[in-house]
Amino acid sequence: MIVVLTGGTGGAKFVDGLRQVVPSKDLTIIVNTGDDLEWWGLYVSPDLDSITYVLAGLLSKERGWGVKGDTFFCLQAMGDLGEPIWFHTGDRDLAVHLLRTKLLKQGKTLSEISAEIATKMGVEAQILPMSNARVETRVDTPIGELSFEEYFVQRWYQDPVNSIRFAGIENAEPAPGVIEAIMSATVVLLRQHRSLGAGRHFDGSPGFAGFNRRRGPGVPRISGYSGGGQPRRQGSRRTETVRTAGALR
C-alpha cells in the first residue's frame, strides 16, 4: 500500500500521475482539510474534492479544479441576487457540497462522508481527510486576519503576510485510519508544495507529530512541484507564486 499525504490542486496532478503506474486500489490518499470553508452556508472541502474528482476521472484539467464540463448557472444566479461569487463553484461541484453539508448535519463525520462520496463516484482508492476536527488556516495581514481562501482566492494573495496560524490544530486528532495507514504503508509520499502553509497542517497535529520516528528511517518525501511552474488555485484562479513576506522561513 502506498500512502500519499497531499493537498488539492497540485496534489491532484501528482495523484493523477501516480495512478498511471500504481493501481488505485493500492493507494491511500490522506488529504489536507486546513483550507475547508463555509460558502453560501455549505461546507466545502476543496482539497478533498480535487483528489476525489481526479480519481473519479471528473477533474477539469483545463482549470485544474472543479468538475470537467461543469456549468455555473447557480453562481451567476447568486451574483444576480447580490451574493458573493469570488469563490467559483460549478453546479455539479455544488451538488457535492450540498450532500456533504446534509450528511454533516445528520451527524456523520468528514471521514464517513468522504468515503461515501468516493464510493458513489466509483473511486477505488481510499481517501481520508487528515482529521475530522475543523482546522482552519488563518493568515495575519496588515488589513487583518483572513481565512486561507479569502487571502489566496478573494484577494489574490496581494497582502504581505505577518504570520500564519492553524486554528484548531492543537486539538485535531488524525481521522480514523490515518495513522494505521501510515504505519502499515510500504511507502509514504509527502507531496510537498510551495503554497502558503502547505504540509504544515500535517506537521502541527499532535497525532501526526513524530510519525516518522515511529515508522523508522527511510520515509520518502516527494515533491510534486516542478521548477518553473506556478501553483493554480480557485477564484479567478490567478497563476502566480505566493508571496509570504518571510513568514515561512
C-alpha dihedral (150, 154, 160, 161), degrees to nearest 10 = 20
Instruction: Give how many domains the chain has, as a whole number.
Output: 1
Task: Look at residue 248 and tell me whether its pLDDT is greater than 50.
Answer: no
What's the chain's average pLDDT?
A: 83
Cα separation of the two ends of the chain: 34
Is residue 227 one of the residues assigned to a domain? no
Put the strands of the sheet holding 136-141 in their side by side order: 144-147, 136-141, 163-167
pLDDT tier for residue 8 given thresholds of 50, 70 and 90 = confident
Q: Give 45 or 247, the one with higher predicted confidence.
A: 45
Tell me which residue range forms the domain holding 97.
2-134+168-215
Is residue 248 one of the residues assigned to a domain? no
The enclosing domain of 24 has a CATH number of 1.10.8.240
Asked if 154 and 233 touch (Cβ cutoff 8 Å), the reply is: no
- Which pLDDT value is given to residue 211? 56
pLDDT tier for residue 7 given thresholds of 50, 70 and 90 = confident
Q: Give 182 or 213, the one with higher predicted confidence.
A: 182
Is residue 235 one of the residues assigned to a domain? no
Is residue 241 one of the residues assigned to a domain? no
pLDDT tier for residue 61 given thresholds of 50, 70 and 90 = confident
- Which pLDDT value is given to residue 234? 52
pLDDT per position as a tens digit, 190-241: 876 545 555 555 555 655 555 555 555 555 555 544 444 444 555 433 332 2
Q: What percent of the chain has pLDDT over 70?
A: 77
Task: Look at residue 101 and tell me whether its pLDDT is greater than 70.
Answer: yes
Please list the alpha-helical segments (H only) found in 64-109: 73-80, 91-105
Half-sphere exposure of 75 (CA within 13 A, CB side): 15
pTM score, two decimals? Answer: 0.82
Is residue 26 one of the residues assigned to a domain? yes
Is residue 238 one of the residues assigned to a domain? no
Is residue 247 one of the residues assigned to a domain? no
